[in-house]
Amino acid sequence: MVGRHRRRRVTPRGRRIAIAGTLAVLAIGGVVASTALRGPAAATPQEVCAHPPTLQTWQGVRLQPAAMTAFRAAQQQAGVKIPVVQSYRSCHQQRIACRNICGNPNGCEGTCAPPGRSWHQLGEAVDITQAGLDDARIPQALEDNGWCQAVPDTDPGHFSFDGCH
């Protein structure tokens, strides 16, 4: 997102600091408690798969708290229910999705992120229906509230929260 400053958000594990697409989770006092490199190209599968994020559920959508707040704001702005097909996926569910999408449970470049490297495992992604994409209010409201359509050519209904680099 050119020209947009990244937000720093405090989580139960400490401070999250985004630096050029990388997320370091620091404990209070500066001691590294855990790291999870963000985004499809940089996530650490062992971390994300072994330690799923804290999630909130609302109207069948499961997301991390900050992503949920932004999603609810987007839905309110749109004035209609955002038709979500899927939000949080476990690493096991990602393997199944990749096997169904591209035939390889470990992912296929450009079509399905490997387990642990999808924004879905971070609880910071939603897939919406084609009808949702066709309603101009919905993509606009998502974008206005910190979501981006990261890969519109290969996965048009996929929106990542604070995730376009």
- Per-residue pLDDT reduced to its tens digit, 52-96: 899 999 999 999 999 999 999 999 999 999 999 999 999 999 999
pTM, full prediction = 0.72
Predicted confidence at residue 159, as pLDDT, reads 96
Q: What is the 3-state secondary structure (H, E, C) of the chain?
A: CCCCCCCCEEECCEEEEEECCEEEEECCCCCEEEECCCCCCCCCHHHHHHCCCCCEEECCEEECHHHHHHHHHHHHHHCCCCCEEECCCCHHHHHHHHHHHHCCCCCECCCECCCCCCHHHHCCEEEECHHHHHCCHHHHHHHHCCEECCCCCCCCCEEEECCCC
9-161 in CATH: which number?
A: 3.30.1380
- Domain boundaries in the chain? 9-161
The predicted pLDDT at position 6 comes to: 36
